[in-house]
Structure 1
Amino acid sequence: MRSALFALALIAAPAWAASDFAYTRKVGAGEAVIDSRPLADCSRASLPGARCLPAEDFLGTSRQLPSARDILWLLGTAGLDGSESVLVVGQDETARDFVAGLLYLAGQKSVRILSEPLRTQGHGAGAARGVVRSTVWTAPMRDRLWVLGADILRNKPALIDARQAKPKSSASGAVVVADDAYQAIARFTQLRAGRGLAVRVDPDGLALAAGSAQ
């Protein structure tokens, strides 16, 4: 993604409300449901009113992200403008957490993640996103949570290796790193939404070479 959208916070990550990014065991009223499963599964059956937004729609062949402009355009094809409170569901936990984290980083007002198994029996098909944008994304991205590999080399923040089940560092502003954006953003979600750690993320897959992750 373009470097202008990966501003490194020079101070600790800003305060954030736990309620705007969290796991839940219930489907809430009035939430826009985002189904992160493969399109074939979502199109077969999903929760009422669900929008199909598979993780693979955001990833290149090496699991790299497209440009910020393309991400926001893609979200617009799903009818999202960022002002919605969304509930992300899915079967594969990593795919679900990746989509949830990307929505949160993009500026989605509120993102909750259904931790319970998705039950679609008796429900209708989810809605596939359009081929053209139906809504313009207007929410500001959470730029302070994105960190570039070059900024890590220069500023040397604490790093958290996404491959480790129990990270050693819990420092505010620590940066989650991985080999690719898919693993990094999914782990960012698990730590920030699941454990309440004020972590940031390097989605470029370059930071593992910057130093020893914790």
Structure 2
Amino acid sequence: MRSPRLIAPLALAALVTVAGCGRQEAPDLVNGKRLFAGKGTCGSCHTLARANTKGTVGPNLDDAFATDKRDGLGQSSIEGLVIDQIAYPRRGGTMPAGLVKGQNARDVAAYVAYAAARAGQDTGALATAAQPAKGPPVAEKAGTLTIAADPTGALAYVTDKASAKAGTAKFVMPNKSPIQHNIALKGPVTGAGPIVGSGGTSTFTASLKPGTYEFYCQVPGHEAAGMKGTLTVK
């Protein structure tokens, strides 16, 4: 995320839109937190303490806005900057443009502006704005274990639990997301498929022994952001 001190004309336009249009619906901070921390949105890449997200691919938002808040940059100004970043992310970065749109984008921006570098924990309805649950467990079928990357662009697989029988198994990870991913394995046996972009498939074969494994993405920062799960082999 660009420093708030380097506000481009486009960002200034966003500030005017947010602050000056009285006809817009008031932002919903609960929805903003739910979207920020939820599957397919911002928390998988960014750290924000109040949202309990620990992503490391993008900037730590508490650090990014701490000095600016101390220097008096207002909440509405930060909201406008975040809206600009959602619509027009840094070229060459991993964040796709328009990850959330319309009122949802404004809700996310308002929550970030409220929560960034704010001491303490959320209370009331904000405290219970939970991250959506993962999909159901995946089981190996006929020697193949298919665990897809989340198609929305979240740093996640479609599930965080899988099971397989001991023996030779082929791991298959279709990637329909806009971000590069792979699937790798660590535990009693290790293995890894190639990193692939949108439309690719990461595969490898391993001779599994009984035990507990972790499957994860090897792209830097993705495992730490939560792109991992548990494989149980019996």
TM-score (structure 1 length as normaliser): 0.29
Bigger Cα Rg = 2
Calculate the TM-score normalised by the size of structure 2.
0.27
